[in-house]
Amino acid sequence: VVQFAGLSQLGQEGKLVLDAVEMETILRRPTVASDIERIGAFVGGKRVLVTGGAGSIGRTLVKRSLELGADAVLVADNSEFGIFQLSQYIDEKHHDRLKVRIVDVADRRQMTRVVTEFKPDILFHAAALKHVPLLEENWESAIQTNVFGTLVCAEVAARCGVAQFVMVSSDKAVDPTSVLGMTKRAAEQIVSALHGTPAGEPGGRRPATKFIAVRFGNVFGSNGSVATIFQAQIEAGGPVTITDRRMTRYFMTVAEAVDLVIMSAADAASRPAGQDYAVYMLDMGKPVPILEVAETMIRMAGKSPYTDIPIRFTGIRPGEKLHETLHGEDEELVELSIAKIFGLSTDVAQWSDVQAALAALQQSMKSQDKAASLTILADLDRTTKTRANAQHDAVPKTAGQAS
């Protein structure tokens, strides 16, 4: 009945309607129920800053924080139009607690002023460039925003005493093959290194701030995602374009992802230093074939795949993988007492290694040397894994201890 109710609306505006039942049809799993009491207790009464707050994930973080009773929410974003759209997206009753600033997250002076004036308790760092093919060409912008933007926001948060810094990461960071993946991996390493720097250590960067990253896959229906592209192509009568019939991806609704990001932050805040995790990973179920998503959406629009709406295969684009993974072979999943969230026991970069790599990266950026820049990011990843393996091998094994 719900499916037919959705289809009946197609005749009015000719647009595909995706409700909860239809989302479960596409994702092949039930949507994740939220622990409203716990995330409400974590966000309620807090001052929340969201970088990239005009983006798909960012604006949902903003809306959710307001709904959960945040004292005030500030959006830091460089998209004037995005911020304008955000004001239409947020209920008017919440507008008195919403503040916006048009800033570049990689501009240390701007971010310092914003954080100093607003004094947030929680900083959700969702600002990032994310489109794989675009970033292969625009690699400098990717590094500037995803790497140095993360560095600036994290260091400003530490120096200004923000209690919680939460970075939104991506499955593209696992064994990266693209510019996007390499920059998100570097961003994770920045956060992990700061997380592992003890408070009060000489030259340390963690006086009070708790740093975590939350890693997950594709968000269904976000700006530029396959869902929005397919929907537009279906409404136009096709063809629906897919890079490869074998391609799969992990999917989650934006509402699920945002609530689980907040839950990860709440869990981290409740754990003492040394017993928390630098990286959390969301359980997204099984990967879904992109072709199956397209065929399902075509049928939900009352059409027949291949007959009414053609499907065309265009070939894998630079940087893309056929299949993504949520964690590497050298990363250990740790079960928590929270549904759909894991802690990750993962390689942690030394802050000195991160600083050296970023200094070299700045020089290669000045020379506009793409190959050197990506080599520096790859070498940092290799250095981290080499050190982790050496430490693992150096630990004496006791009887019965797993290797």
Task: State how far the Cα of 322 lies from the Cα of 177, in Å rounded to an integer.
Answer: 11
- How many other CB atoms sit within 10 Å of the CB of residue 175? 16
Task: State how far the Cα of 331 lies from the Cα of 96, in Å rounded to an integer.
Answer: 44
Q: Single out the residue of 143, 136, 171, 172 nearest to residue 317, CA to CA.
A: 136
Please enumerate, as own/partner, the contacts of 87-90 that have beta carbons within 8 Å and a separation of 24 or more.
89/59, 89/63, 90/59, 90/62, 90/63, 90/66
Task: State how far the Cα of 387 lies from the Cα of 270, in Å rounded to an integer.
Answer: 29
The catalytic residue positions are 172
Task: State how far the Cα of 75 lies from the Cα of 83, in Å rounded to an integer.
Answer: 8
Strands (E), 276-340: 279-282, 288-289, 311-313, 332-335
Task: State how far the Cα of 309 lies from the Cα of 41, in Å rounded to an integer.
Answer: 47
The encoded tokens of residue 198 equal 């003890």
Please enumerate, as own/partner, the contacts of 382-387 that have beta carbons within 8 Å and a separation of 24 or more.
383/349, 383/353, 384/189, 384/347, 384/348, 384/349, 384/353, 385/330, 385/347, 387/347, 387/350, 387/353
| Beta-strand pair 248-249/210-215 | unpaired
The encoded tokens of residue 54 equal 């005009």
Gap between the terminal Cα atoms of the chain: 54
Strand order from edge to edge, sheet including 122-125? 98-102, 72-77, 47-51, 122-125, 164-168, 210-215, 279-282, 341-345, 332-335
DSSP character at residue 212: E
Per-residue pLDDT tens digits of the chain, which is 403 residues long: 344 444 444 444 545 555 555 667 777 777 777 889 999 999 999 999 999 999 999 999 999 999 999 999 999 999 999 999 998 889 889 999 999 999 999 999 999 999 999 999 999 999 999 999 999 999 999 999 999 999 999 999 999 999 999 999 999 999 999 999 999 999 999 999 999 876 555 444 445 899 999 999 988 877 777 888 998 999 999 999 999 999 999 888 899 999 999 999 999 999 987 788 999 999 988 899 999 999 999 998 889 999 999 999 999 999 999 999 999 888 899 999 898 999 998 878 889 999 999 999 999 999 999 999 999 999 998 877 665 555 555 444 443 343 2
| pTM for this prediction | 0.88
DSSP character at residue 146: I
Name 319's Cβ contacts closer than 8 Å, sequence gap at least 6: 132, 133, 135, 136, 177, 178, 179, 180, 181
